[in-house]
């Protein structure tokens, strides 16, 4: 197999339309836009590169790379890569990869991967993968997958999968093989087929306050708590790639509403292991004053902060082997 390394858009534009021998095209830079496949050419996004994929193109993403997939394109994601799929794209996610699927996209997730599924998208989750389903999404869960379902999603649960349902419009098509359906508060989803080994329970959600969070993670004498953030290799956040976690970091668009879970804040976790649930990479140990963050009532694996101070590099998250927990090298 031949290998060509692409370090700039100019080098990419000079690629031929076909290769005489099978050739891996290693993309090592940001901003590359792929509109078609090369004959005998195989695209691979490596080393935290950012790539946009269109048409019927196919790309393999590794090493924390980020992919935006549209127009029936196909992406295979590994090693904590992040993919956003639109317009009937197809995505295979492995090894802690994260996927957001929109507009009838299809996702196959394995090995602790995470999926957010919207707008008629379909997802197949295996091997402890996690799925958040919205907007008429269709989800099939296998192998101890965890699924949280909202809006009018449809769920097929197999092999000890756990389903959390937050909306009565959700349809549980199958609940099989030791799967567990957890109906949150007073919701009543439609359940069509239940195996003898499956269970259905109702759970009232404990709603956290800032005080209950501080009871678990007490501040120091000056009112500061220690929080952790996993960043990209260059120290920037995964979501925008624009916020550099060094010294004092301030969010200019902070929203103090505690009922808002995502956006408009710096998201940090009270334990490094919890930070590792969202991304893999360098871990920053930070301190935050108790007046400078809000707590989402039903999820304290992270909090939203208005400003933080980076204290030190704490370590590096490692990808777990099959059946292992997250580990930190520090």
Same domain, 215 and 308: yes
Within-domain flag for 118: no
Q: What is the largest CA-CA distance in the chain?
A: 68
Let me know how many helices (H) and strands (E) the chain has, helices first: 3, 31
Domain boundary (164, 188, 205) is at: 205
Kindly report the pTM of this predicted structure: 0.56
Within-domain flag for 110: no
Report the candidate in 86, 66, 90 with the shortest Cα–Cα distance to residue 78: 66
Within-domain flag for 277: yes
Domain count, the chain: 3
Mean pLDDT (whole number) for 170-195: 90
Report the candidate in 57, 65, 112 with the shortest Cα–Cα distance to residue 87: 57
CA–CA separation, 39 and 307 (whole Å): 50
Same domain, 192 and 215: no
Res. 319: pLDDT tops 50: no
Report the candidate in 328, 323, 327, 274 with the shortest Cα–Cα distance to residue 128: 323
Q: Which two tokens stand for residue 133?
A: 């389903």
Q: Tell me the CATH number at 228.
A: 3.20.170
Within-domain flag for 10: yes
pLDDT class of 1 with cuts at 50, 70, 90: confident
Same domain, 282 and 251: yes
| Span 21-37, pLDDT tens digits | 999 999 989 888 898 88
Same domain, 186 and 225: no
CA–CA separation, 200 and 221 (whole Å): 45
How does 87-106 read in b/e, with b if 16+ C-beta sit within 10 Å?
ebbbbbbbbbbbbbbbebbb
Same domain, 272 and 184: no
Domain boundary (205, 236, 258) is at: 205
Res. 4: pLDDT tops 80: yes
Report the candidate in 237, 320, 226, 322 with the shortest Cα–Cα distance to residue 282: 237
Same domain, 223 and 272: yes
Other CB atoms within 10 A of residue 156 CB: 22
Same domain, 198 and 230: no
State residue 136's pLDDT score. Answer: 67
Within-domain flag for 101: no
CA–CA separation, 191 and 32 (whole Å): 45
Within-domain flag for 325: no
Same domain, 85 and 187: no
Within-domain flag for 111: no
Report the candidate in 223, 185, 181 with the shortest Cα–Cα distance to residue 200: 181
Domain that holds residue 192: 126-205
Within-domain flag for 256: yes
Res. 308: pLDDT tops 70: yes
Same domain, 201 and 214: no
| Span 112-126, pLDDT tens digits | 677 777 766 777 777
State residue 288's pLDDT score. Answer: 98
Same domain, 154 and 60: no
Same domain, 4 and 75: yes
| Span 37-68, pLDDT tens digits | 899 898 988 877 888 888 778 888 887 777 87
Question: Where does the chain have alpha helices with state H?
Answer: 9-13, 210-216, 272-275
Same domain, 132 and 223: no
Highest mean pLDDT among 178-192, 198-212, 214-228: 214-228
Q: Which two tokens stand for residue 308?
A: 């933080």
Helix, coil or strand: residue 50: strand
Domain boundary (76, 93, 110) is at: 93
CA–CA separation, 218 and 162 (whole Å): 32
């Amino acid at each position: 197999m031949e290998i060509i390394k692409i370090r700039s858009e100019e080098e990419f534009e000079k690629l031929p339309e076909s290769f005489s021998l099978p050739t891996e095209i290693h993309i090592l830079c940001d901003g590359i836009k792929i509109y078609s496949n090369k004959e005998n050419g195989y695209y691979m996004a490596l080393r935290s590169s950012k790539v946009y994929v269109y048409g019927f193109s196919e790309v393999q993403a590794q090493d924390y790379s980020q992919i935006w997939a549209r127009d029936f394109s196909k992406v295979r994601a590994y090693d904590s890569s992040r993919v956003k799929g639109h317009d009937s794209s197809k995505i295979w996610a492995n090894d802690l990869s994260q996927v957001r699927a929109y507009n009838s996209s299809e996702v196959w997730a394995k090995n602790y991967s995470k999926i957010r599924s919207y707008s008629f998208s379909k997802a197949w989750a295996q091997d402890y993968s996690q799925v958040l389903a919205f907007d008429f999404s269709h989800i099939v869960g296998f192998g101890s997958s965890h699924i949280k379902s909202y809006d009018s999603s449809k769920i097929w649960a197999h092999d000890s999968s756990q389903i959390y349902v937050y909306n009565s419009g959700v349809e549980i098509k199958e609940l099989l093989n030791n799967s567990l359906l957890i109906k949150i508060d007073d919701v009543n989803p439609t359940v069509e087929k239940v195996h003898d080994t499956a269970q259905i329970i109702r759970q009232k959600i404990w709603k956290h306050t800032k005080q209950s969070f501080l009871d678990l993670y007490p501040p120091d004498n000056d009112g500061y708590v220690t929080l952790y953030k996993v960043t990209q290799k260059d120290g920037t956040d995964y979501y925008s790639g624009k916020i550099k976690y060094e010294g004092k970091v301030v969010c200019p668009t902070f929203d103090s509403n505690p009922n808002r879970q995502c956006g408009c804040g710096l998201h940090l976790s009270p334990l490094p292991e919890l930070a590792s649930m969202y991304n893999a990479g360098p871990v920053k140990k930070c301190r935050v004053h108790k007046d400078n963050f809000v707590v989402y009532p039903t999820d304290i694996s992270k909090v939203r902060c208005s400003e933080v101070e980076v204290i030190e590099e704490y370590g590096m998250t490692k990808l777990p082997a099959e059946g292992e927990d997250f580990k930190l090298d520090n």
